[in-house]
Structures are given as structure tokens and as C-alpha cells.
Amino acid sequence: MSIEPFDAVDVISIKRDGGAVPEDALRWMVDAYTRGYVADAQMASFAMAILLNGMQRDEIRVMTEAMIASGERMSFAGLGKKTVDKHSTGGVGDKITLPLAPLVASFGVAVPQLSGRGLGHTGGTLDKLESIPGWRAALTNDELVAQLRGVGAVICAAGSGLAPADKKLYALRDVTGTVEAIPLIASSIMSKKIAEGTDSLVLDVKFGSGAFMKDVDRARELARTMVALGTDSGVATTALLTDMNTPLGLAIGNANEVRESVEVLAGGGPADVVELTVALAREMLALAGQPDADVEAALRDGRAMDAWREMIRAQDGDPDAALPEPRETHTVTADADGVVTRLEALPFGVAAWRLGAGRARAQDPVIHAAGIDLHVKPGDRVVAGQALFTLLADDETRFARALDALDDAWTIGAEAPPSSPLVLERITA
């Protein structure tokens, strides 16, 4: 039996006392935890010390590298085209990946979009796409590479081989009150993205009611930390800081978000979804060496739609199939004339989840037809009796709890609210 070079208690104590953990000790800590030598209780204590005392930039880099080293690293070096990926920190109505991946791929760039499932009030990209009959999320590495070479865009599940240390630590953070630690969030996201092997990466870091980071300053700190991690690892990385106080678009759910994404690809769709899709596409194409690409033209002339249809077919989906429809609907109307001054993202996300669009536990199924269709956005003028939004469910008994979540989630006032930018800031290395 080999003797371990470090002791977990010593490593925890350094961080507990506000010190910087030496590189070799930090690499050992991550490896020993992945192997099962460091116990959950010890790693929980270390994670809490990180939450309370933070980490230096070099420590976060070492932690991320150690998490990457716990599993496999993919490479797209033989593709013959540049690769660029996008990661969003998640929000309500955030379906941007769906139109974005084929849009960017229509410029000859490969987009390997390894995505996840929803948990709680934020939807999962894979859950949305599984509304499409036949579509499958699980691809082998060979299938993924072949699709990138041919179609150019892939949205699929990440393999279990990428950063297994993160998977283990993520589950522990969830039950120990350490999810919010910025060094741990950053290393979790970036270990998977760097291990994925993309040349460049654009981050959509959200702030506000429906975002993981409610506070704009903490969202900015997270964005800067992740951009630094990508840059230090040789991945060209930029971030956009975007507003998630109001749901994105008019659809919150799964099947209805696919419908809205297809509208965007057809040259229509809600203005905010189009704005963010175009902003992120420009950012991704600039990193891939095409700073002057005419993104709007690809939405107008059908190139992005062609790439979408190819992408869906390549994963056994039928882009022409009817999407699931809800069995039950319930529409909420305005009780007075005026202007919609507020639609708060978080309650609408929670309501959609209670209607069946999301899951409380990882093993729960989602109801693809469930969700909410908004009929108005802040700034819209309404009259009493006008439809504000419609709840969608397969079981009408779900409406009461969804309506409870929406108590005081919107306001109708006399004047339009001041407009605030959707994209607040661009963050680079």
C-alpha cells in the first residue's frame, strides 16, 4: 500500500486559515477525492473553506487542471475547421443554444455544444430538444466528430468521461451549501469546457432574478474568473454579461421553446431572443476568425434553418414532426388598463417547473408540452381582460401551485419602465 504524500486535514487547514494551497497539494486533494481516499466530509469542509475565504487565480487554475486530469480530454484537431462553443449559466426561457449552434455552423465553423438537463427552475437544452420526435442526445465520440465534420453543429450530452472529479464534487456542493462559491462554479464549468477540446469559448453569464447569480457584481466576478481560466488554458475565451430579470422570449418550457427557436431560424421570433442569438454568434465567429460575418443575413436567407434541419436529422430527429401539445391550458388576464412594468423571471421559471416542464430530482421525467406562453413583455400596453400569459400542462391540478408561484410576479402600472440593455457588458482577457 503506497503512502499518500499529503494529509487532507493539512490542506483544509491552510484554506480555513485563509492561505493559498500549494500546487502539488491541491492537485493531490482533487485526485485523492476522485479516488475515494479523501472522504466526502473532508471535501465538504474544504469546499466550505473555499466559499468563505476564496482562492487566488493560480489556485483556481490548478484546481481546474486537476479536475480536467481526472478524466479524458477530447481533441478536434483533425477536423480541419475551427471549433467554438458557448456556455450559458442558465435562466428562464433561455433557448439560445438551439438557434445559435446551427447559425454559427452555417459559416463553416464547428460547434461542439455538449449540453445538460434542467434541474429546478432553469431548463435544460437536452430536455427541450427531446421534445422533437426521434431526436437523441447520446452520441459516441465518433458520431460527434463525424457530425461536426459534416453538419458542423452538434448539441448532445457530455460523456461521463469528462472531468469525473467535477461530477463528484458538484453533487457534494449541492448538499453542503457550497454551490455559490465562485472558484468552485468557475472550475466546474471550465473543467468540462476545456476537457471538451474546443479552440474557443463564449460565455453567457447571466445576472438578475432568474439567474444563478442574482447580483451583477458577483456575475461579473464569475465571468472574469472563467475568462481567465480559459485564457490560462489556451482556450480563447470571452464573456457577455446578460440580463435575466425578465424571461427570455415568450416561451418557457420545452416544446414551446423549440417552436420559438425555429421562428428565430425562420427570420422571425421575439426581439430579445434574436438580439442575444446575434450577439453571441458575432462573438463566436470573431473568435473563429470571422469578425465581419453577416449573421442576420444567415437568419434571413435560410442558411441557418438548413443547418438546423440537418443537425436535427443527424441525431435521428424529424424537423417536420408535430411537437407535443398540452392537454390543459389556463390563461391569466390583466385586471386593469396600463403598461406591463415587470415580469419577474424567477417566479415564471418556478411556475413552469411546477407545471411539469422541469424536474426536482435528476431522475424525474419532464413533460415536454408543459410550460408557459407569455403574450406580453415589460413595456407593452394592455387593457383589462387582455391575456397576459397562458399556463400549459397535461394535468389541470398543477395550475394551482403554478399560480401560487406567480403571486406578485408581474406588475401593471401607468408608465413604461425605463429600458435596460439585454447585454450589459463584454468581458475579455
Q: What is the CATH number of the domain that holds 120?
A: 3.40.1030.10
Q: CA 141, CA 159: separation in Å to the nearest integer?
A: 8
Note whether residue 146 is domain-resident: yes
Q: How confident is the model over 278-282, as a mean pLDDT?
A: 98
Mean pLDDT of the chain: 95
Neighbours of 172 (CB within 10 A): 17
Q: CA 119, CA 391: separation in Å to the nearest integer?
A: 20
Judged by average pLDDT, the poorest of 19-23, 43-47, 179-183 is: 179-183
Asked if 63 and 30 count as a contact pair (C-beta separation under 8 A), the reply is yes
Structure confidence at residue 322 (pLDDT): 97
Neighbours of 328 (CB within 10 A): 16
Same domain, 135 and 234: yes
User: Which domain CATH number covers 390?
Assistant: 3.90.1170.30
For 328-357, write each residue's pLDDT tens digit: 999 999 999 999 999 999 999 999 999 999
Q: How confident is the model over 175-181, as a mean pLDDT?
A: 89
Note whether residue 141 is domain-resident: yes
Structure confidence at residue 350 (pLDDT): 95
User: Which domain CATH number covers 49?
Assistant: 1.20.970.10
Q: Which three cell numbers stand for residue 275?
A: 438580439
- For residue 206, the cross-strand partners are 242
Same domain, 282 and 377: no
* CA distance to 114, 128, 173, 258, 358, per residue, from 124 (Å): 11, 7, 20, 12, 8
Q: Which three cell numbers stand for residue 258?
A: 423549440
pLDDT at position 121 over 80: no
For 370-395, write each residue's pLDDT tens digit: 999 999 999 999 999 999 999 999 99
Note whether residue 421 is domain-resident: no
For the annotated catalytic residues, the residue numbers are 87, 166, 173, 188, 192
Structure confidence at residue 119 (pLDDT): 65
Q: CA 137, CA 94: separation in Å to the nearest integer?
A: 18
CA 402 to chain centre: 23
pLDDT at position 266 over 80: yes
Note whether residue 124 is domain-resident: yes
Same domain, 49 and 176: no
Domain count, the chain: 3
Neighbours of 382 (CB within 10 A): 19
Same domain, 90 and 119: yes
pLDDT at position 272 over 80: yes
Same domain, 274 and 366: no
CA contacts within 13 A on the Cβ side of 265? 28
pLDDT interval class at 123 (50, 70, 90) = confident
Residue 277 three-state SS: helix
Q: CA 302, CA 197: separation in Å to the nearest integer?
A: 30
pLDDT at position 31 over 80: yes
Same domain, 335 and 403: yes
Q: Which H or E run includes 173?
A: helix 164-174
How wide is the angle at C-alpha 189 spanned by C-alphas 357 and 359, nearest 5°? Answer: 15
Structure confidence at residue 120 (pLDDT): 67
Structure confidence at residue 387 (pLDDT): 98
Same domain, 216 and 314: yes
